[in-house]
Amino acid sequence: MKQVKRRCFPVFKENSRVPVLLSKVSPIEIGAISLALFVFARGEMTKTTKRHETIHYLQWLELGFIGFLLLYPTFWLINLIRYRDGARAYQEIPFEREAYGHEEEAGYLATRKRYGWLKYVTSSSSQASA
Ligand SMILES: [Zn+2]
């Protein structure tokens, strides 16, 4: 049986006001954001940004949307308590660690295993980077 390559991408919306508006209520300045089936960006997206946001899109799908919506801020809050630093709390979110860790890899989306973010749940970035 021939294996079908997974080609699963969100709908990219460039030059959007959504990141501008969300930045007003967010602890970080948002350049692009994945919201369920859509990715909104302030300007045009690089391949790296599209790959980063597509990783988030796959995470949304894996968690049935509501799971991502609940887990993302939960991880951020746990990290904020742990590190007492908003920027580090964001960087340590397992979803972000997978996305930043693989956004430069051209072949990652084709080879990514489902729930690729899970391995980042139990380790901090200082432990994982070698
Ligand atoms: Zn991200």
DSSP 95-112: HHHHHHHHTT-TTHHHHP
Distance 22 CA to ligand 1 centre (A): 14
Helix (H) or strand (E) holding 48: helix 47-62
Q: Measure 5 CA to ligand 1 centroid, in angstroms.
A: 24
User: How does residue 63 score in pLDDT terms, banded at 50, 70 and 90?
Assistant: very high
pTM exceeds cut of 0.85: yes
Q: What is the DSSP letter of 118?
A: G
6-21 pLDDT, tens digit each: 558 899 999 999 999 9
Give me the mean pLDDT over the 28-33 stretch: 91
Q: From ligand 1's centre to the CA of 116, what distance in Å?
A: 14
pLDDT in tens, 31-52: 999 999 999 999 999 999 999 9
In whole angstroms, give the CA distance from residue 22 to residue 58. Answer: 21
Q: How far is the CA of 1 from the centre of ligand 1 (A)?
A: 35
Residue count (the chain):
130
Q: Enumerate the domain spans of the chain.
A: 11-120
Distance 55 CA to ligand 1 centre (A): 8
Contact between residue 8 and residue 58 where contact means Cβ atoms under 8 Å apart: yes
